[in-house]
Amino acid sequence: MAHAIDVALMDKIKKHGPGGTLDVSACFNCGNCTAVCPLAEDSSGFPRRVIRMAQVGMEKELLADEDIWRCYACGECTQTCPREADPMQFMAAARSYAISRYDATGLAGMMYRSAAVNVLVFLLFSAFFVLLLLSHKGGLEMGSNGAIFSGIGSSRLFQFIPGEWVHSIGVALFVVIGASLAFGVFSMIYRVMSKKNQAGERPAFPFAALLPSIWSAVTDALNHRRFRNCEQTTEPTNEPVYRRAWFVHGTIMWGFLAMLIATTVDFLFKPIGSPVPPWYSMRLLGLLGGLACLYGLTIAISRRIRAKETPYDKSSFSDWFFLMLLAATVLTGLLTEIVVYMPHPSIFGYATFLTHIVLAMDLLIMMPLTKFAHVVYRTLALALHQWALAPAPQKSTAAVSNA
C-alpha cells in the first residue's frame, strides 16, 4: 500500500514541543522505549512505532494511531533512551499536533506554534465575553460603604450580571463547543477505523462490544487505572500516594468534574441567584471539588516551576497556558464562593465574579483548541483501541454450513 509522505512532518511536530528543543531525529529505532514502557502491553511496538512514523513522514498514519493517546507521560522511556531522543516529549508533542489537525478552524495549530497567537486569542475571547456579559448588566448602584447593591448573597451578583443572560451564553457556548468537538471526534474515529482496515488488521468492531468498550475507557479515565499501572510497574517509589503523579492528575480531574456537576445541577434545578446556605449539597460539592482541583494544580505547577525531574523538566507554552487558565478559573471560583456570602459585596467582589465567569467561558470555548481536549481524545482513543481488540462475533453453525 502506498503511503503519502510529508517530509516536513518532524519539523511540524517539533514546533509543538517545549521551546522547540524536541529532537527525536536522534532515535535509531533501538526499541528500548518499547522494552521499558510500562504500558507497552502488546507486540505493536508502542511507542517506538509512532516515533518511526514521524521520522519517515507518515502523517496520515500517525494521526490515525490511537497509540499517541495511550501514553501517560511517565517519562520512563525518556530516562532510559540511549540517544536522549526524549520519546516522552515526542508523544506529548504528537498529541498537541493531533489536536491541531483534528481542529477544523486551524486556530489550534496557530496557537500551538505561537505563544503570542495563543495569548491574543485568549485576550480576544476574554474581551468578547466581558462586553457580552456587561451588555445586559442590571446597572450599578453604589451603597453607602462603596458597595454595589447593598444586600446579601448571590442574588446581588446576579443583579450585576443577570443569571438568565449567563445561562443563555452558557447554552450557546455548549452548542459551539459540542459542534467543534464533534468534528474532531468524527475526524479521529474515521482516521483510526479507516487505517485499521487499510492496514489489513481488519478488526471486526462488533457492535455488541461498542458500549462495553466505551464503558471501559470512561472508567479507566475516571479511576486512572492505566496511569496507576504506569507508575506501579516502574521502579518502586517511596513517594506518598497524595504526591504521586496519577493522584495529582486525579485530584485535578475529579475536582473539575465535581465543580462541573455542581454547576450543572444548580443550572438545571436551582432558581438563578437564589440564596442557599453554605452547607447546601451542591455548594459543598463545588467547594470540595475546587479545593481538590487547586491542590492538584498547585503541585503540578510547582513541579514544573522547579523543573528538576522528568517529566516536569520541560514544559511547552501550551502546558503552562492550560494549567494557569484552569488555576485562575478555580481560584476565582473559590473566591466567588466567599463573595456570595458577603453582606455587602465590594467592587472587588463584583470584579471577581465577572472574572470567574469570563475565565470559565474562556476555558470552555478554548477546550477543543488547547491541551484540555486531551480529556475527550484520550478517552475516545482508549475506547477505539478496546473496541478494535474485541473478537468478531462467532457465526452460528447453521449460518456456516449454509455458506
Here the contacts of 166-173 (C-beta below 8 Å, separation 24 or greater) are 166/133, 166/272, 166/357, 167/267, 167/272, 169/129, 169/132, 169/133, 169/361, 170/267, 170/361, 173/361, 173/364, 173/365
Amino acid at 148: I
Q: Closer to ligand SF4 by CB, 55 or 114: give it.
A: 55
Query: Cβ 225 to ligand SF4, closest distance in Å?
Result: 13
Q: Residue 242 gets which letter from DSSP?
A: G
Q: Closer to ligand SF4 by CB, 55 or 155: give it.
A: 55
How far, CA to CA in Å, does 313 sit from each of 86, 139, 346? Answer: 11, 49, 41
Query: Cβ 161 to ligand SF4, closest distance in Å?
Result: 43
Q: Closer to ligand SF4 by CB, 24 or 376: give it.
A: 24
Q: How far is CA 227 from the centre of its chain?
A: 15
The rounded distance, in Å, linking the Cα atoms of 246 and 72 is 9
| Residue indicated by cell numbers 470555548 | 365
DSSP string, 321-382: HHHHHHHHHHHHHHHHHHHTT-SS--HHHHHHHHHHHHHHHHHHHTGGGSGGGHHHHHHHHH
Query: Cβ 339 to ligand SF4, closest distance in Å?
Result: 42
Query: Cβ 55 to ligand SF4, closest distance in Å?
Result: 9
Query: Cβ 80 to ligand SF4, closest distance in Å?
Result: 7
Angle in degrees, 0-180, between the axes of helices 210-223 and 374-389, rounded to the nearest 10: 130
Query: Cβ 293 to ligand SF4, closest distance in Å?
Result: 24
DSSP string, 131-181: HHHHTT-----B-TTS-BS-S-SHHHHHHHTTHHHHHHHHHHHHHHHHHHH
| Residue indicated by cell numbers 454547576 | 263
- Judged by the rule CB under 6 A, the positions of this chain that interact with ligand SF4 are 27-33, 37, 39, 47-48, 51, 71-77, 81-83, 85, 87-88, 91, 230
Query: Cβ 21 to ligand SF4, closest distance in Å?
Result: 15
Q: Closer to ligand SF4 by CB, 37 or 121: give it.
A: 37
Q: Closer to ligand SF4 by CB, 50 or 258: give it.
A: 50
The rounded distance, in Å, linking the Cα atoms of 86 and 119 is 27
Query: Cβ 186 to ligand SF4, closest distance in Å?
Result: 26
Query: Cβ 301 to ligand SF4, closest distance in Å?
Result: 20
Q: Closer to ligand SF4 by CB, 314 or 356: give it.
A: 314
Query: Cβ 227 to ligand SF4, closest distance in Å?
Result: 9
Q: Closer to ligand SF4 by CB, 103 or 231: give it.
A: 231
The rounded distance, in Å, linking the Cα atoms of 388 and 240 is 36
Q: Closer to ligand SF4 by CB, 9 or 359: give it.
A: 9
Residue 142 pairs in a beta bridge with 148
What's the grid cell of residue 252? 485535578
Residue 193 · residue 359 · CB < 8 Å: no
Backbone angles phi, psi at 145, to 5 degrees: -95, 20
Q: Closer to ligand SF4 by CB, 95 or 196: give it.
A: 95
Q: Tell which residue, 278, 325, 365, has the closest CA to residue 103.
A: 365
Q: Closer to ligand SF4 by CB, 82 or 343: give it.
A: 82
